[in-house]
Structure 1
Amino acid sequence: MATPTGRPIPLLCPSDQVGRCARCQQPCHRYGVGANPLCQTCRQAVETARQQQKTSPAT
């Protein structure tokens, strides 16, 4: 399990919708409408990896 980093990201959701990111354990909008199990940083990393996978030639 990853250790949370010391760099907090401001959240724009009610405190009862905050949970830990499934990947890095940072607080994120985890519950409720518009929630995601990943924080913004991890979500961007996953999307970047997906885009690279789509554009790489199949072997």
Structure 2
Amino acid sequence: MTTPVNLPPEQCPSSLRGRCSRCHAPCHRYGHGGNPLCHSCRAEVESKRQTKPKAA
């Protein structure tokens, strides 16, 4: 059985759920498509990464 990527935590099997490493909210942390950050924290980190000036 394959698990779709970016499942909301309430739809994710319990074996693939964990806590966000930043805010400790439940998230799809393990397995295919898992991420140590929840959707909110990941969006915040990505937005800061895009606005950060590149080092020369």
- Provide closer, same or farther for how the CA distance between residues 51 and 15 of structure 1 changes in structure 2, counting only shifts above 3 A: same
| Larger relative contact order (Cα-Cα within 8 Å, sequence gap ≥ 6) | 2
- Aligned-pair identity in percent equals 56
Q: Compare CA radii of gyration and give the structure with the larger one.
A: 1
Structure 2 runs not aligned, ≥5 long: 1-7
Structure 1 runs not aligned, ≥5 long: 1-9
Are residues 1:29 and 2:28 paired?
yes
RMSD: 1.8
Give how far 1:45 is off.
Answer: 0.4
Return the TM-score normalized by structure 1: 0.71
Return the TM-score normalized by structure 2: 0.74
Structure 1 partner of 2:16 = 17
Q: Which runs of 4+ in 1 moved over 3 A?
A: 56-59
